[in-house]
Amino acid sequence: MKEKNILIIDDSALMRRVLSDIIKSDKRFKVLGAAINGLDGLNMLQENVDKVDAVLLDINMPLMNGIEMLTEMKKQNIETRVIVVSAITTKDAKETILALELGAFDFITKPESLETLKSDEFSMQLLDCLAVATEFMPAQILSQTTSEKEEPPLKHTSKPVTKVGVKKLVTIACSTGGPKALHTILPKIPKQLDAGVLIVQHMPEGFTKSLAERLNSLCQIPVKEAEDNEVIQKGWVYIAKGGRQLRVVKDKEGNHRISLSLEAPRKGLLPCADVMFESLVNTDYDEITCVVLTGMGSDGSDGITTLSNKKRIHVIAQDSKTSVVYGMPKMIKKTGLVNEVVPLQEVSDAIIKNVGVY
């Protein structure tokens, strides 16, 4: 069993020590080196590019910050999986979204207290993220996340003509690699899309707002973080609020509204796509387009299966080749409910063709 080499880049001596201790506690990983800023880190990476399996990168550092380092890595075509270690301030959340857009694999949040920083919970979160990034996982997890031999794209092209006045909704579920995938898909969606769009992206509170704001600045269609009790309108995108479960409910006037609730995570997820899909069973939508993008695990599969028994759905799954982690799309494909398997670059076209514009 070959150890995976991890490079730590953080200007805090305490963080470097804590991260090093966590990595050294797991036989799967070892610390290749530790840098105090992005400039030193970039030099270390350049010198050891064939040896580094993953990088833990801070955002705010002197001389060269994390964003500048990722930008330089992109210019130099250095393709190393980077995990951003981010604080949860509004400024850091916005920069983390930009880091993901620039190619960072994923991020974990820095605990706000020393006690939490040294907790088993933070250690497990870090090690789990490193395991996914380096594809160094137990067989039962690996079977849900790694790419399999690419199959020909699955496309069911025959579809009855949609009647005028039909109530339609687009739903998207994504996790690891999701923010970058959304940056590819949503800018191609026109603001005249004949449906509202609901997105469940696995993210903590605060980061979903920054993600929505960033996407809104890039898209024709308006994008916002979902608010409790607001009416879902066609031509709008609503991103589920981190730290809340999102459901769709129908009010007395027949409007479909968003319901946000603070409750226990389901399967460790808050928000959870299964919860959103299951809530749609009791709505008046005539057609629901379900899109499953890159991400670890199987979130969305149970909910879509339940929904398929009550509603007319059209399921689009991202293919394995373009998925950062081929878990969620693979598991929904296994249900036999998928109508289309397409590369990431074709997902927006598949949505538009299925839903139409007004």
pLDDT digits (tens, 9 = 90+) for 111-161: 877 777 878 889 999 999 999 999 865 433 443 444 444 555 566 544 444
Q: Where are the alpha helices (DSSP H) in the chain?
A: 13-24, 38-47, 66-75, 90-101, 114-117, 120-133, 139-145, 178-185, 207-218, 273-279, 301-308, 328-334, 347-355
- Asked if 66 contacts 42 with a C-beta cutoff of 8 angstroms, the reply is no
Residue 10 has pLDDT above 80, yes or no: yes
The residues that bridge with 326 in the sheet, in sequence order, are 295
- Sign (positive or negative) of CA dihedral 266, 230, 223, 234: positive
* Helix/strand/coil for 339: coil
Percentage of the residues of the chain whose pLDDT score is greater than 90: 83
Active site residue 314: no
Per-residue tokens: 315:
């399921």
Q: What is the pLDDT of residue 120?
A: 87
The residues that bridge with 35 in the sheet, in sequence order, are 9
Q: Which CATH class is domain 4-136?
A: alpha beta
Give mean pLDDT, residues 184-191: 97
Q: Where are the domains of the chain?
A: 4-136, 168-355
Please provide the average confidence, as pLDDT, over all residues in the chain. 91
Q: Is there a shared CATH topology between the 4-136 domain and the 168-355 domain?
A: yes
Residue 70 and residue 59: Cα distance in Å, rounded?
Answer: 10
What radius of gyration do the chain's Cα atoms show? 21
Of 189, 181, 9, the residue nearest 100 (C-alpha): 181
Q: What is the pLDDT of residue 165?
A: 61
The neighbour count for residue 123, using CB atoms within 10 Å, is 18
Active site residue 12: no
pTM metric for this prediction: 0.90
Q: 56-60, 154-158, 165-169, 324-328: which has the minimum mean pLDDT?
A: 154-158
Annotated active-site residue in 53, 92, 299, 319? 299
Percentage of the residues of the chain whose pLDDT score is greater than 70: 91
Say yes or no: domain 168-355 is CATH 3.40.50.1400.
no
pLDDT digits (tens, 9 = 90+) for 264-316: 999 999 999 999 999 999 999 999 999 999 999 999 999 999 999 999 999 99
Decide which of 48 and 112 is more confident.
Answer: 48
Active site residue 175: yes
- Asked if 284 contacts 167 with a C-beta cutoff of 8 angstroms, the reply is yes
Annotated active-site residue in 40, 86, 106, 175? 175
Annotated active-site residue in 58, 106, 202, 256? 202
Residue 166, CA atoms < 13 Å, CB-side half-sphere: 16
Q: Is 223 exposed, middle or buried (0-12, 13-18, 19+ CB in 10 A)?
A: buried
pLDDT digits (tens, 9 = 90+) for 18-30: 999 999 999 999 9
3-state secondary structure 105-143: CEEEECCCCHHHHCCHHHHHHHHHHHHHHCCCCCHHHHH
Q: What is the pLDDT of residue 175?
A: 96
- Asked if 132 contacts 325 with a C-beta cutoff of 8 angstroms, the reply is yes
* Contact partners, residue 84, CB within 8 Å, separation at least 6: 57, 58, 59, 66, 96, 99, 100, 104, 106, 107, 108
- Measure the CA angle with vertex 227, ends 221 and 231; round to 5°: 70
